[in-house]
Amino acid sequence: MDTQLLSARSPADLDAAAGLLLRGGLVAFPTETVYGLGALALEPLAVRAIYAAKGRAATNPLIVHVLGEDEARPLCARWPIEAQELVTRFWPGPLTLVLPRTDRVPDEVTGGGPTVAVRAPSHPAARQLLARVRVPLAAPSANRSEHVSPTTARHVLRDLNGRIDAVLDGGRCPVGIESTVVGLTSAGPRLLRAGAVPRSALEELLGEVPDAAPAGSIAASPGQQKRHYAPAALVRLADATALPRIAADLPGPVGAVIRGDIALPQEVVSVRLPENPAGYARDLYAALRELEDRGCTSICIESVPASPEWDAIRDRLTRAAA
Ligand code: TXA
Ligand code: MG
């Protein structure tokens, strides 16, 4: 299959993307977090094609993207007060809610489970696409399974060219890491995946939002295996003082992701990221992909501060190094 490159700035291209989706096709599109691989969420065959293109385990459920609350509620069997509060405050935006599902949602989307994940993205291209198709779109991150999430159309093509119908190019994703996933199915709200909305912002609204039960239990997010968000290279985390020695010891070619001034062995290919968490998150996945593209088989990453505003980034780095 030829993968078309469409532009989110062109109304005709947006129409074409919507047309492909409505015929059951696969179209990658930008969201504020990362690019998603979209298909009609209520069409089992279209959803199955997502799993095939990504090489994703059929038991790992997908996030259903909607324009807003009105489109989400028919998919959810309950809409507790916490859902109302979160949606009022954070939608459209990088927050995903996991709620009991209704029977409109096919098993293919939920991995056969009793819940559905819903999110209203804020990216204008995602919203224009949703407004055109007028039905919910299932969309995992548009990478090959277990690879780093894509933050540009070029990243999507690198993983999925020839395997999907089109990619809608809307430039670089402004947030750069995935949405926060909150479960509202059991006793109270649980953080299933740290992400772009910090835990502190959730807790201002809801009180304490503890982590989900450890992986393996039903409450946990199935996609939260230890190794995830990983580049193909071997990844090691180290603080600034240990980094030069570790870089020198790793099997090469070696890449490094740093934040400050660090003197590294000359043969190490380094990418320097912003010191602030928002800038770092925006550029991280592109940096990992760049080092991979430049042939690095090992990547050492300068560890990030232990403070809460780095939580989601630390989560991704720890998984990449697992
Ligand atoms: O920012 C994002 O969330 C991006 C953009 C495209 O929206 N999407 C994304 O999708 O990261 P994906 O499939 O790569 O990650 C979705 C996560 C996985 O960890 C999955 O297991 C979890 O959400 N998830 C989906 N449905 C779930 C459910 N019903 N119960 C628990 N976890 C669920
Ligand atoms: Mg993903």
> Structural domain boundaries of the chain?
4-206, 234-320
Per-residue pLDDT of the chain (322 residues), as tens digits, is 899 999 999 999 999 999 999 999 999 999 999 999 999 999 999 999 999 999 999 999 999 999 999 999 999 999 999 999 999 999 999 999 999 999 999 999 999 999 999 999 999 999 999 999 999 999 999 999 989 999 999 999 999 999 999 999 999 999 999 999 999 977 789 999 999 999 999 999 999 999 986 544 444 566 555 666 677 889 999 999 999 999 999 998 999 999 989 999 999 999 999 999 999 999 999 999 999 999 999 999 999 999 999 999 999 999 999 8
* Minimum CA distance residue for ligand 1 atom 29: 116
Determine the distance separating the centroid of ligand 2 and the alpha carbon of 228, expressed in angstroms.
8
C-alpha atoms less than 13 angstroms from C-alpha of 119 in its C-beta half-sphere? 27
Residues in contact with ligand 1 by the CB-under-6-Å rule are 31, 33-34, 36, 60-63, 94, 96, 98, 110, 113, 115-117, 119, 139-141, 178-179, 181, 192-193, 221-224
* Minimum CA distance residue for ligand 1 atom 32: 221
CA 73 distance to own-chain centroid: 23
Q: Which residues partner with 269 through β-bridges?
A: 255
The tokens for 179 are 């949405």
Determine the distance separating the centroid of ligand 2 and the alpha carbon of 37, expressed in angstroms.
10
According to CATH, the topology of domain 4-206 is: DHBP synthase (3.90.870)
Q: Which residues partner with 191 through β-bridges?
A: 182, 211
According to CATH, the topology of domain 234-320 is: Rossmann fold (3.40.50)
Nearest to 319 by CA among 239, 226, 195: 226
| Number of the ligand 1 atom closest to the C-alpha atom of 56 | 13
